[in-house]
Amino acid sequence: STPSINPQVSRKSVLQTLVQGGVATAAASLLVQAPLPAVAAESLPSGVTYEVVKAGDGPKPDVGELVAIRFAAYCGSTKIDDIFDTPEPYYTRLGSGGLLKGVESTLPLMRVGDRWKLTIPGQLAFGSK
């Protein structure tokens, strides 16, 4: 039988290797459509800041629900991952730990159709190192 590969763990592992701390920025969205001009950034108590690039009108996801997201991740100006360039979105179960802590904690605030630009502190991305 063919061994199973968990793409969430391997993707996270690769990204951790590429970014050793600092601030990771991700443009995360649920069912992305064309971008609109961003509005002023807001801060969450966790330290994550976000700009609403496009406001959706769908429901907010619940923990345990399967979500499909598209994102691009940067460390400074260096792109380290880009799901916009893939034919399928990235699927994960919300709350499973398959995403960066800063993304995982922000997704329940988003609505289907939202497109947000996140700035995530190092400790909620790949660690403080």
Per-residue pLDDT of the chain in tens (129 residues, 90 and over written 9): 444 444 444 455 444 444 433 344 444 443 333 344 545 789 999 999 999 999 999 999 999 999 999 998 888 888 888 888 889 999 999 999 888 999 999 999 999 999 999 999 988 988 766
Q: Is 97 left (phi over 0), alpha (psi -120 to 50) or beta?
A: left
Q: Please give the backbone phi and psi of residue 103, each rounded to the nearest 5 degrees, phi first.
A: -75, -45
Can you state the percent helix, strand and coil of the chain, rounding each to 5?
Answer: 20, 30, 50
CB distance 105 to 48 below 8 Å = yes
Helices (H) and strands (E) in the chain, counts: 2, 7
Q: What distance in Å separates the CA atoms of residue 113 and residue 100, rounded to the nearest whole number?
A: 20
Residue 105 belongs to what H/E stretch? helix 101-106
Question: What's the whole-model pTM score?
Answer: 0.65
Angle at 77 between CA 106 and CA 12, to 5 degrees: 50
Q: What distance in Å separates the CA atoms of residue 16 and residue 122, rounded to the nearest whole number?
A: 11
Residue 85: predicted pLDDT? 85
